[in-house]
Amino acid sequence: MADPIQLVPNGTLITATAEEGRHLAIKMSRLIIKATQPDPAVRERLRPVYAEDAGMLIAIGQIVAMEFATIAAANDYWKKL
């Protein structure tokens, strides 16, 4: 059995900057796709489908935005900077 996917990289949502938070949001969005479809061959086969579908690309952007909002809240919107 494969090792479980760590859905929160390094076990924390805390980042030093908003830029790091955006990178983390993208990574977490990619990890949820991997957790939902664990077969890499299937993910590779589907990539051209969503790469040419504007609606699917917008949906991906929405997922990243939701992840970023969660990370920003966890970081108290970087008020300490």
The pLDDT > 70 percentage for the chain reads 91
User: Is the residue at 1 inside a domain?
Assistant: no
User: Is the residue at 11 inside a domain?
Assistant: no
What domain range includes position 50? 17-75
Distance between CA 67 and CA 25 in Å, rounded? 5
For the chain, the three-class secondary structure string (H helix, E strand, C coil) is CCCCCCCCHHHCCCCCCHHHHHHHHHHHHHHHHHHHCCCHHHHHHHHHHHHCCHHHHHHHHHHHHHHHHHHHHHCHHHCCC
pLDDT tens digits along 36-56 = 999 999 999 999 999 999 999
What is the per-residue pLDDT for 48?
94
The per-residue pLDDT of the chain, averaged, comes to 91
User: Is the residue at 21 inside a domain?
Assistant: yes
- Number of domains composing the chain: 1
Q: Is the pLDDT of residue 34 over 80?
A: yes
What is the per-residue pLDDT for 4?
82
What is the per-residue pLDDT for 81?
53
Distance, CA of 24 to chain centre: 7
